Amino acid sequence: MRLSPQVVRLAGLLCAALYSAFIVSIYARQPRTVAQLTGGVASSLGAYRIDRDSFEQGLRFFRADKFPEARAAFARADPAAQDPVAQLYVAYSYYRQGWGRLYNDDELFAKGLEAVNRAVAVSASGRVEVTDSDLKMRTADELKAELERGLTREASDLNPVRLLRERK
């Protein structure tokens, strides 16, 4: 069986185009670890799954107000940062740890904003919503607005009634 030179050239061109598309997709996503790279590929194929045991452990830490521990468990559960719900809980943990009656920790709020944006970006619909009755903000939109509000400086920050507000 002898292939014509045109077929060989066409097959080579097709392989080069597919490889180029793969490289461009990696560059666009900019994964920082091999786990993020493989998770991104698995997610695009619909085969990505989180570790449910680590996720449940993260939820237990989260509900016990052990936020660094919760983030570590969520990172184990979702090493590629491709699960929108896990990333929403990561963002919420930054919010809760950074929230204060007198002031908010801007560094933690900024990390929370990054995490909530990541959750929205990996969501198929662009919306992330959880049904957790323990949370006062159940959507990524609410959490993002609260984090952005916490990062802004305005005259209402000096209002003494602010001391009576409650954490969401």
- Tokens at 71, concatenated: 């983030």
Domain ranges, ordered by start, for the chain: 49-164
Using CA atoms, how far apart are residues 138 and 17, in angstroms rounded to an integer? Answer: 42
Consecutive H or E run containing 107: helix 106-122
Q: What percent of the chain has pLDDT over 90?
A: 52
Residue 62 has pLDDT above 60, yes or no: yes
Topology of domain 49-164 in CATH is 1.25.40
Using CA atoms, how far apart are residues 154 and 116, in angstroms rounded to an integer? Answer: 23
Residue 30 has pLDDT above 90, yes or no: no
Using CA atoms, how far apart are residues 142 and 82, in angstroms rounded to an integer? Answer: 20
With H, G, I as helix, E, B as strand and everything else as coil, classify residue 129: strand
Our CA dihedral for 52, 54, 59, 63, rounded to 10 degrees, sits at: 160
Range of weakest confidence among 25-34, 53-62, 90-99, 148-157: 25-34
